[in-house]
Chains A and B, each alone.
Chain A
Amino acid sequence: MMKIADYAKAGLPIKDVPIIDEHNHLGRWGAFYVPGGGTIDQMVNRMDQVGISKICVTAHASIGPDYVYGNNLVMDALKRYPDRVIGYVTVNPNYPEDMQHELDRCFAVPGFRAIKFHPECHGQPVDCKGYEAAFEEAEKRGCPILIHVWGDDAVRAVDGLAPRFPHAIFIMAHMGGTDGHSMEKAVDVVNRHPNVYGDVALSRPTEGNIEWLVKEIGSKRVLFGTDMPFYDPSHVIARVALADITEEEKKDIFYRNAAKIMKLDNPEYRK
């Protein structure tokens, strides 16, 4: 039987491991060219090429100017690929008057299972008052909130929010990002709060980053996220597949942890 690393070395889709990618976008992006436009059809094709079973999606338009337009794109993707796509309801704290309505509208659609914030794109801090309805919704549902966490201030904000909303699950996208200092702080926050996770979506990770994360916080709260189609999923999947960690730790990262927090009860995810 091939090891997980062998698939990446050969460029073959990873089999026998049902990979759940918890950090994806959809569509075009204003600041740079996304070849082909980053459509859901392209993304599903790319998932098949590398071996990703499911993706959790927030549209670029939602973390950009128009969360309603973006959430509608995700609804369409959910209808077309119900077995491959999980939806994030993305909200913008600058429109607090509409937040509860948007959360209700989207969560009424099967397949939306979590909430997404991008405070940096929306020009607000992670702990701004405008997000309050979304924090309360996540607390009520016990669902994940994927938050773009880039830098010390964002990490500190999650540190303050996690105990206030103990049933919500906080995912620090990019594990603090920017540099090792912020990541070290993010690791400390994960270690102090059982409802905080971090993902490995990074455009310029340093060598040994996965091994370091597993050593510092274990494999149970590290999530696999690729940021597709912001960038290509190939380098993230290979980074985990080729990391100097055990096969069981790779399985935690590739699917077990995401299946647990997204409440996916397929028996295949319990292996």
Chain B
Amino acid sequence: MRSAYHFFDCRASYGMRCYRAPGSFYRKEDLLRKMADYSIDCALVYHSLSKEYDPMVGNHVLCREIKDDENLFPVWAVQPHYTGEFDTPSKLLEDMKANGVKALTMFPAPSSQNFSFAEFTCGEIFHMCEEHQIPFFVDMDQMGGIAAVDWLCAAHPKLPLVVTKVNYRIDRDLYPLLDKYRNFYIEVSGYKPFEGIKSICERFGAGRLIFGTGMPESAGGAAVGLVTYADITDSEKNMIASGNLKKLLGGVAL
């Protein structure tokens, strides 16, 4: 049976990784199979090479490999351009247009690509995303914690920021940030407080939450259940499942 809701996953990936968790997949075909099992219609995806090896390599491998998959949409990982390893924002924008890329991500943590998640390194990228309304997805642990939202949203109030891979312990910081800034969203796969989605919807509205699975690093079925079993209206569930993400992607102006 198909789900009663239309799911659009904002945070999936595939490709071989340095460490593969027991039982998890890495092939694109397995991602597509899992999406079908969980009744997920489509997904924004990045390639593991973009995170664990080199974003220039991974981004182009991704576009080549998913060009015939109608339900997979590319997310490119970006790096600061100053060393010459990565394109300048203007060249990046040209390539995004040419490849139909409407979303970006970044892996700056010391254990990943090891650069500062800061204005002096990434400000030009944030500015480009603001100007062109490109959704920018970043894992909470990659940005050094949820508190980084404060300086980032203050410096870039029009940046469509989606914080991914959050945990269930962040509400004491998250609530004041949701009150203070309107331009950031929480991806739900890690957001698991008891009745947490219901509380966010009641206080801040369903428009602040976006469905993502984090597959294969996280369990896709778990993310589906967070939404289907949330004690909220069907209309709110559909906003979270796909409506909010479609709205963000619809606003991109390349």
Nearest CB in chain A to that of B219: its residue: A205
Nearest CB in chain B to that of A42: its residue: B195
Q: A206 is contacted by which of B1, B216, B226, B229 (Cβ under 8 Å)?
A: B216
Does B226 contact A232, Cβ atoms closer than 8 Å? yes
Count the B residues whose beta carbon is within 8 Å of the partner chain — how many? Answer: 49
B16, chain A: closest CB distance, angstroms:
15
Does B192 contact A241, Cβ atoms closer than 8 Å? no
Q: Assess whether B215 is interfacial by the CB under 8 Å rule.
A: yes
By secondary structure, the B interface counts as loop
A50 to B198, CA, bound (A): 14
Stretch at the interface among B19-27, B47-55, B242-250: B19-27
Tell me the residues in window 109-150 of chain B with beta carbons closer than 8 Å to chain A beta carbons.
none
Nearest CB in chain A to that of B23: its residue: A212
CB contact under 8 A between A238 and B1, given known A180-B22, A231-B193: no
Does A209 contact B225, Cβ atoms closer than 8 Å? no
Does B229 contact A207, Cβ atoms closer than 8 Å? no
Return chain A residues, CB-CB under 8 Å to B216: 206-208
Tell me the residues in window 2-27 of chain B with beta carbons closer than 8 Å to chain A beta carbons.
2-5, 19, 21-25
Tell me the residues in window 199-254 of chain B with beta carbons closer than 8 Å to chain A beta carbons.
199, 213, 215-231, 237
By secondary structure, the A interface counts as helix
Does B171 contact A32, Cβ atoms closer than 8 Å? yes
Return chain A residues, CB-CB under 8 Å to B181: none
Return chain A residues, CB-CB under 8 Å to B24: 206-209
A13, chain B: closest CB distance, angstroms:
9
Does A206 contact B218, Cβ atoms closer than 8 Å? yes
A203 to B191, CA, bound (A): 9
Stretch at the interface among B34-42, B68-76, B83-91: B34-42
A-B contact pairs, 13 of them (CB 8 A): A8-B225, A11-B237, A33-B193, A49-B231, A204-B190, A207-B25, A208-B24, A208-B25, A215-B23, A231-B192, A231-B194, A238-B229, A242-B220
3 interchain residue pairs of minimum CB distance: A238-B225, A212-B23, A242-B221
